[in-house]
């Protein structure tokens, strides 16, 4: 596999990289960023995966997430992939910001024309970890995952589907039950078809209802988030966890909205929380 280094910058005595490679999962070129904190030669480090939200790429959190100081302090590699496949041959819905490119919803699509390239679940769960581990000093026995909005949905569902792999899960303003909100219903119906049972693997609330469990979940949600009531529905996650006997940390942050001003305010807190569980 050939990795192309697009940029490298020094930060907090570590290195911020942006790279691209051809993905077998999506059949396209994929770009992602990696921050490697300062470390001793030969040491392998825990890794925190960050999944971005609708319309975003790897660049949003890389440029605005303010995670590098905390990752350097705690010795954590931070990886930020793209949100969907890209390229001229990739199908898109250019007039719809919440579907197509930039809105992959971290699923493996089964419906035409999306199924050929929109395979973000396989890319993130199988291919990208192998790519990162082949090039960077990561310890894949110590993984955690986080994300924002659509990426919060991705972090929750990926982590809940494989709790033995991900020691901790966190999210900023996640879409907790895409099966029940407009953003999610549009995406899941087109990517996966009309069988709602097939959607349940991509819905955190449904996964918990169906028996998924995790002991370490942290969610921050702003009370001034314009999408809270219609699209995010944090209360549905609280209710599902209570019924399942789970005790996540779900924190309503007064006055915060859906933006990176919110994410950057609590990013260091999330990284410290993950660090305590990654060892």
Q: Give yes or no: 21 in active site.
A: no
Cα–Cα distance, 209 to 196 (Å, whole number): 14
Cα–Cα distance, 187 to 198 (Å, whole number): 13
Catalytic residue among 33, 52, 84, 149: 149
Distance of alpha carbon 131 from the chain centroid: 17
Q: Among 1, 64, 72, 5, which Cα is nearest to 35's? A: 72
Q: Give yes or no: 225 in active site.
A: yes
Neighbours of 195 (CB within 10 A): 11
Starting at the edge strand found earlier in the chain, the sheet holding 45-51 runs 3-11, 14-22, 29-36, 77-81, 45-51, 138-147, 166-172, 217-222, 249-253
Catalytic residue among 84, 225, 238, 270: 225
Backbone angles phi, psi at 229, to 5 degrees: -75, -40
Catalytic residue among 74, 153, 258, 270: 258
Backbone angles phi, psi at 181, to 5 degrees: -135, 155
Cα–Cα distance, 175 to 204 (Å, whole number): 9
Q: Give yes or no: 258 in active site.
A: yes
Q: Among 86, 113, 95, which Cα is nearest to 26's? A: 86
Residues annotated as catalytic (active site), given as ranges: 149, 225, 258
């Amino acid at each position: 596999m050939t990795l192309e280094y697009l940029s490298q910058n020094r930060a907090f005595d570590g290195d911020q990289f942006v790279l691209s490679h051809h993905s077998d999962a999506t059949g396209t070129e994929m770009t992602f960023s990696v921050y490697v904190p300062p470390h001793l030669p030969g040491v392998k480090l825990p890794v925190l995966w960050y999944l971005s939200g609708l319309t975003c790429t790897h660049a949003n959190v890389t440029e605005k997430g303010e995670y590098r100081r905390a990752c350097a302090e705690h010795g954590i590699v931070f990886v930020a992939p793209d949100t969907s496949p890209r390229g001229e041959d990739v199908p898109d819905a250019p007039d719809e910001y919440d579907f197509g490119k930039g809105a992959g919803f971290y699923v493996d699509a089964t419906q035409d024309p999306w199924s050929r390239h929109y395979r973000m679940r396989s890319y993130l769960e199988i291919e990208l970890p192998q790519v990162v581990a082949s090039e960077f000093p990561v310890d894949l026995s110590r993984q955690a995952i986080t994300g924002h909005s659509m990426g919060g949905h991705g972090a929750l569902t990926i982590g809940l589907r494989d709790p033995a792999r991900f020691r901790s899960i966190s999210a900023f303003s996640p879409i907790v039950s895409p099966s029940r909100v407009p953003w999610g219903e549009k995406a899941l119906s087109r990517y996966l078809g009309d069988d709602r049972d097939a959607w349940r693997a991509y819905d955190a609330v449904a996964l918990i209802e169906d028996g998924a469990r995790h002991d370490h979940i942290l969610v921050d949600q702003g009370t001034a988030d314009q999408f809270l009531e219609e699209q995010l529905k944090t209360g549905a996650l609280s209710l599902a966890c209570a019924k399942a006997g789970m005790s996540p940390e779900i924190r309503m942050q007064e006055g915060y909205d859906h933006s990176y001003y919110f994410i950057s305010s609590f990013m260091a807190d999330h990284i410290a929380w993950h660090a305590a569980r990654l060892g």
